[in-house]
Amino acid sequence: MKYHSQYIKLFYRFLSEKVSPIMVKYNISANAISISRIIFAILAGVLYLSEYYIFHILSAIFLFIFSFFDALDGSIAQKTKKSYFGLWIDPLFDRLGLLIIFSCISLKLYNLGENLMVLIPLLNFFFYIQRSLIGSDIRTKEKFIKFREFYSLPKNENTTETVNDLTEKSLSIKRLLKFVFHQFSPHTHNQIIYLMIFIIVNQMKMGITVLFTINLFWYLYEVYKVTKISIKLDNKNSDE
């Protein structure tokens, strides 16, 4: 089983390893699971628009399935065969699914008369996408090849913190904060978990505002980090 230092991903991977043999047995392909994620995203969004709380609970359940199937399709692919089509639609449906969900949240807030809040979910999605594109650009675009040396630390250099790290080494505030951010940062799976919680406790207005603030500052931090790298590279060129 693939190891993840983020425990939510490790939990999904554990579940997917239990479920994937059943899917393989009944010839359910990884691509079929990937494509079905959009259906669950649409169902989650539409059900959240209802005024009945029971439909909101179903919406949260479908959000969980949408997120869990992201790990399940990978486990099935490992047991059968990998697909380039599957590799392509995996991140595509992550973003499309979140766009559907955040759009429905905006529509729900509009229906509730929260006109000032309507843009917050869409801005949340915007900064989430913008932050992810920064790393994607640096990893894939040739013009950013010089950035990679400073943007991504070597694989043998520990860039995360786990519970074992915290207990086996001397504890510090910096390392504790690093652990908390690594585990709870709003990557795709955590975005979904947070939305599920906001739906279940019926606190979307406050929750989506907090999530927007986190995504905004996460994006600004990435911009700051890459800006520092660009200045460092310029100074290095000047010295040469």
Is residue 126 scored above 60 in pLDDT? yes
Q: Answer whether 67's CB lies under 8 Å from 101's CB.
A: no
Q: What sign does the CA torsion over 163, 167, 168, 173 have? A: positive
The confidence score (pLDDT) of residue 4 equals: 65
Q: Answer whether 188's CB lies under 8 Å from 44's CB.
A: no
pLDDT in tens, 175-217: 788 888 888 888 899 999 999 999 999 999 999 999 999 999 9
Task: Provide φ and ψ at 51, rounded to 5°.
Answer: -90, -5
Across the range 222-235, mean pLDDT stands at 94
Q: Which residue has the tokens 């969004």?
A: 45
Q: Structural domains in the chain?
A: 7-239 (1.20.120.1760)
